[in-house]
């Protein structure tokens, strides 16, 4: 029996940040220096920036779900489940496993990388009727849903129903919403030749945002170029507009328009995972307030990064600037935090995270894209080559790279068959059903659970 107790490093979340950290720990730590455990509800790392391409059928879901176990140095223990609370005082993380058992996982070092969830507002009907674009299941669901609208409109002889089925609303003019609207509009447009009974003029996509510009981080010119591409394709872009209320068959805009629709996709920003609130620690707009070394002040051995943490942006001169919630930062923070965990373990000095933003790439489907790598403004095919090249090279495994490249080629040559899989039909499809936002404990519940018997073992939820 192994009686040596090694320090326990617990990583929460297997996204860009968590996996970046785990892989680095596996590479740089010898197995007898520490035990590494990863809590993850899925057995893959999701390459989120390509999610709109899954929704539009350019890529299969599996191609952007990168296996957690495919690594030469893989030796991490993976707990299949989600962390639902952390008690910083007793160093316990409460995990709900995928079989709904609650487990107290003790740690010496914890790396919090649970990412973010869709940010919603108090708009009547929003959480009941909107779909998000944050998980693989949501993307696959939306694809089936959009194709089902075409099928239902095709089968209906009621003009009002046809009109409602063929209108689609996307809220959020950031890169996620713009890409989603652009890619899905391409799907419905390409599908038309398989639906000869549908009047193309009835298909209408709306992209709305309360901000006065699309993707302000791209600058005025590129934002306008993206808007022009969408306008050319018939997407109705409304800026300075949001949703007043949402119902099962219509959405009311704040400018008074009532759009009959069964499809409302909500991509108006993200907010840190609800796990952060279970700790009762200081936050900056919901993200855990950490130092530039990604440590939590006043709590030894606690690190946080990615979308869940407000990591100071040392590459900017601005006072109080924090890194934006992007994959670009999360994956680099993952490596940097691993180095700092190792430094803490070896009583060496920690280093601050510094990364100068490399820019943004926005795939609008087909040959359309806008990109701003290293400040250079690109449009059309050159922008698309940069966008796809960037994402392709950022995929972690060669198998994932091959799957994605093959899918792109196959889609370019053979197009889409617009098949509805029906895997998730008749299942609840609200935001909380996909993003599990109602699974977390309150700080008091976490405390009570952590202070329970020393070895409570697994207990049913």
Ligand X SMILES: Cc1cc2nc3c(=O)[nH]c(=O)nc-3n(C[C@H](O)[C@H](O)[C@H](O)COP(=O)(O)OP(=O)(O)OC[C@H]3O[C@@H](n4cnc5c(N)ncnc54)[C@H](O)[C@@H]3O)c2cc1C
Helix-helix angle 380-394:398-414, to 10 degrees: 150
Among 61, 82, 365, 366, binds ligand X (CB under 6 A): 82
Is position 142 an interface residue for ligand X (rule: CB under 6 A)?
A: no
**Of 164 and 334, which CB lies nearer to ligand X in the complex structure?**
334
Strand locations in 27-162, DSSP E? Answer: 35-40, 44-46, 65-67, 77-87, 92-97, 101-106, 109-112, 116-118, 130-131
**Of 51 and 130, which CB lies nearer to ligand X in the complex structure?**
51
Contacting range for ligand X; rule: CB under 6 A; set: 113-121, 143-151, 226-234, 365-373: 113-121
Among 29, 48, 251, 338, binds ligand X (CB under 6 A): 48
Is position 325 an interface residue for ligand X (rule: CB under 6 A)?
A: yes
**Of 342 and 361, which CB lies nearer to ligand X in the complex structure?**
361
Among 57, 115, 173, 366, binds ligand X (CB under 6 A): 115
CB distance 214 to 223 below 8 Å: yes
Q: How far is the CB of 328 from ligand X (least distance, A)?
A: 4
**Of 131 and 153, which CB lies nearer to ligand X in the complex structure?**
131
Q: E strand or H helix at 120, and its extent?
A: none
Is position 11 an interface residue for ligand X (rule: CB under 6 A)?
A: no
Tell how far CA 383 is from the center of its chain: 23
**Which single residue is written with the structure tokens 């940040």?**
17
Among 114, 172, 312, 359, binds ligand X (CB under 6 A): 114
Is position 109 an interface residue for ligand X (rule: CB under 6 A)?
A: no
Three-class SS state of 378: strand
**Of 123 and 215, which CB lies nearer to ligand X in the complex structure?**
215
**Which single residue is written with the structure tokens 């090249």?**
389
Is position 52 an interface residue for ligand X (rule: CB under 6 A)?
A: yes
CB distance 269 to 172 below 8 Å: yes
Is position 40 an interface residue for ligand X (rule: CB under 6 A)?
A: yes
**Of 250 and 339, which CB lies nearer to ligand X in the complex structure?**
339
Q: How far is the CB of 320 from ligand X (least distance, A)?
A: 20
CA dihedral 82, 10, 401, 52 (to 10 degrees): 30
Three-class SS state of 424: coil
In 313-458, which residue ranges form alpha helices assigned H by DSSP? 327-345, 380-394, 398-414, 431-435, 443-450
Among 10, 49, 85, 446, binds ligand X (CB under 6 A): 49
For residue 461, which of 444, 440, 443 has the smallest C-alpha distance? 440
In 216-326, which residue ranges form alpha helices assigned H by DSSP? 220-232
> Measured between alpha carbons, how far is 21 from 19 in angstroms, rounded to an integer?
5
Site size with ligand X, rule: CB under 6 A: 36
Close Cβ partners of 301 (under 8 Å, ≥ 6 residues apart) = 91, 107, 108, 109, 110, 344
Among 88, 330, 400, 441, binds ligand X (CB under 6 A): 330
**Of 133 and 246, which CB lies nearer to ligand X in the complex structure?**
133
Q: How far is the CB of 155 from ligand X (least distance, A)?
A: 31
Q: Which two tokens stand for residue 124?
A: 């009547």
Is position 359 an interface residue for ligand X (rule: CB under 6 A)?
A: no
Q: How far is the CB of 252 from ligand X (least distance, A)?
A: 25
Contacting range for ligand X; rule: CB under 6 A; set: 47-55, 119-127, 161-169, 315-323: 47-55
Is position 83 an interface residue for ligand X (rule: CB under 6 A)?
A: yes
**What is the number of other CB atoms lying within 10 angstroms of the CB of residue 240?**
12
Is position 51 an interface residue for ligand X (rule: CB under 6 A)?
A: yes
Please state, in angstroms and as integers, the Cα–Cα distance from residue 116 to each residue in 76, 270, 306, 458, following that order. 23, 6, 9, 27
Q: How far is the CB of 385 from ligand X (least distance, A)?
A: 15
Nearest residue to ligand X by CB is: 15
- CA neighbours within 13 Å on the CB side: how many for 380? 0
**Of 49 and 365, which CB lies nearer to ligand X in the complex structure?**
49
Kindly tell me the sign of the dihedral angle through the C-alpha atoms of 74, 77, 82, 87: negative
For residue 43, which of 100, 96, 105, 98 has the smallest C-alpha distance? 98
> Measured between alpha carbons, how far is 408 from 410 in angstroms, rounded to an integer?
6
Is position 107 an interface residue for ligand X (rule: CB under 6 A)?
A: no
Q: How far is the CB of 90 from ligand X (least distance, A)?
A: 18
**Of 135 and 165, which CB lies nearer to ligand X in the complex structure?**
135
**Of 164 and 169, which CB lies nearer to ligand X in the complex structure?**
169
Is position 131 an interface residue for ligand X (rule: CB under 6 A)?
A: no
Q: Which positions lie near ligand X, rule CB under 6 A?
A: 12-18, 39-42, 46, 48-49, 51-52, 82-83, 113-115, 133-134, 175-176, 273, 275, 306-308, 325-328, 330, 361
């Amino acid at each position: 029996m192994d009686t040596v107790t090694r320090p326990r490093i617990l990583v929460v979340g297997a996204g860009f940040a968590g996996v970046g950290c785990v892989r680095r720990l596996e590479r740089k730590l010898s197995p007898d220096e520490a035990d590494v455990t990863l809590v993850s509800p899925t057995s893959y790392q999701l390459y989120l920036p390509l999610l709109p391409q899954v929704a539009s059928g350019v890529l299969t879901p599996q191609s952007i779900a990168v296996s957690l176990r495919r690594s030469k140095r893989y030796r991490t223990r993976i707990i299949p489940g989600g962390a639902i609370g952390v008690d910083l005082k007793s160093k316990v993380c409460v995990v709900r496993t995928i079989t709904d058992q609650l487990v107290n996982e003790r740690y010496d070092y914890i790396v919090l990388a649970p990412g973010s969830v869709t940010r919603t507002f108090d708009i009547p009907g929003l959480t009941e009727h909107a779909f998000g674009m944050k998980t693989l299941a949501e993307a696959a669901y939306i694809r089936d849903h959009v194709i089902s609208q075409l099928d239902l409109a095709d089968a209906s002889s009621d003009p009002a129903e046809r009109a409602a089925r063929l209108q689609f609303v996307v809220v959020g003019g950031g890169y996620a919403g713009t890409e989603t609207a652009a890619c899905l509009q391409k799907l419905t447009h390409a599908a038309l030749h398989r639906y000869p009974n549908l009047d193309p003029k009835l298909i209408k996509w709306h992209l709305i945002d309360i901000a006065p510009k699309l993707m302000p981080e791209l600058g005025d010119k590129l934002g306008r170029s993206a808007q022009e591409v969408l306008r050319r394709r018939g997407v109705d872009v409304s800026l300075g507009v949001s949703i007043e209320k949402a119902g099962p068959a219509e959405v009311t805009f704040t400018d008074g328009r009532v759009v009959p629709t069964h499809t409302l996709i909500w991509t108006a920003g993200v907010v840190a995972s609800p796990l952060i609130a279970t700790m009762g620690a200081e936050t900056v707009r919901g993200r855990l307030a950490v130092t530039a070394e990604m440590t939590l002040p006043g709590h030894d051995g606690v690190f946080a990064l990615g979308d869940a943490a407000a990591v100071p942006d040392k590459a900017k001169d601005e006072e109080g600037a924090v890194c934006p919630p992007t994959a670009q930062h999360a994956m680099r923070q993952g490596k940097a935090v691993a180095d700092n965990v190792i430094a803490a373990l070896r009583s060496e000095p920690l280093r601050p995270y510094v990364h100068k933003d490399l820019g943004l790439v926005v795939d609008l489907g087909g040959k359309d894209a806008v990109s701003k790598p290293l400040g250079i403004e690109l449009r059309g095919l050159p922008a698309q080559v940069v966008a796809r090249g960037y994402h392709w090279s950022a995929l972690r495994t060669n198998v994932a790279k091959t799957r994605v490249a093959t899918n792109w080629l196959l889609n370019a040559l053979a197009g889409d068959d617009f098949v509805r899989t029906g895997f998730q039909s008749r299942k609840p499809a609200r935001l909380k059903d996909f993003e599990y936002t109602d699974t977390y404990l309150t700080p008091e519940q976490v405390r009570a659970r952590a202070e329970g018997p020393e070895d409570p073992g697994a207990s049913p939820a």
